[in-house]
């Protein structure tokens, strides 16, 4: 099976994207099409992975292309985990933004063991202001 990778395609099928997020457990507005469309449209880097016509992975990042990059989402379909798709998406993000820009990611508790395998380092000096609704 060959995975096809695409960059900055804001026309991802929203139904498939919502299903991908639902399966991941990430807290995203999967039932609000307008929010999903804005998430795609306003990402600075949007990478997707496809198995034929099925969306199996997404990396969505916000960056200034100068000093920082926030990897807002790294989502791989459960059926395709363990195949290197997440690693490839992060490598493609790194290629897109350059080696001099650090990438910051926030992980769900169950995924904290995954990010070190990609070369991420734990930081203790981060703060989060939660959503109001």
What CATH code is carried by the domain that includes residue 81?
3.40.630.30
Residue 132 lies in a domain: no
Question: Cβ distance 3 to 51 under 8 Å?
Answer: yes
Residue 72 lies in a domain: yes
d(C-alpha 103, C-alpha 87), whole Å: 13
Residue 124 lies in a domain: no
Residue 129 lies in a domain: no
Res. 10: pLDDT tops 80 = no
Number of structural domains found in the chain: 1
Residue 44 lies in a domain: yes
How crowded is residue 45: how many other Cβ atoms within 10 Å of its Cβ?
A: 19
The parent domain of residue 103 ranges over 4-118
This prediction has a pTM of: 0.91
At 68-82, the pLDDT tens digits run 999 999 999 999 999
Choose the weakest-confidence range: 2-6, 69-73, 100-104, 128-132: 128-132
103-105 and 4-7 beta bridge pairing: unpaired
Residue 133 lies in a domain: no
Residue 102 lies in a domain: yes
Residue 112 in 3-state DSSP?
Answer: coil
User: What's the token pair of residue 109?
Assistant: 């508790």
pLDDT-above-90 percentage for the chain: 68
pLDDT at res. 133: 67
Question: Cβ distance 46 to 60 under 8 Å?
Answer: yes
Residue 127 lies in a domain: no
Mean of pLDDT values over 54-78: 95
């Amino acid at each position: 099976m060959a995975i096809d990778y695409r960059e900055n395609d804001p026309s991802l099928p929203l139904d498939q994207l919502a299903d991908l997020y639902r399966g991941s457990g990430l807290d995203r507005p999967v039932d609000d099409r307008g929010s999903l469309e804005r998430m795609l449209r306003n990402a600075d880097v949007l990478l997707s992975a496809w198995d034929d016509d099925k969306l199996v992975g997404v990396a969505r990042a916000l960056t200034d292309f100068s000093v920082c990059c926030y990897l807002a989402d790294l989502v791989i379909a459960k059926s395709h985990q363990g195949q290197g798709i997440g690693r490839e998406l992060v490598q493609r993000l790194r290629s897109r933004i350059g080696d001099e820009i650090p990438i910051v990611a926030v992980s769900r508790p169950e995924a904290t063991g995954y990010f070190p395998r990609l070369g991420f380092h734990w930081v203790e000096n981060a703060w989060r202001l939660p959503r109001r609704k």
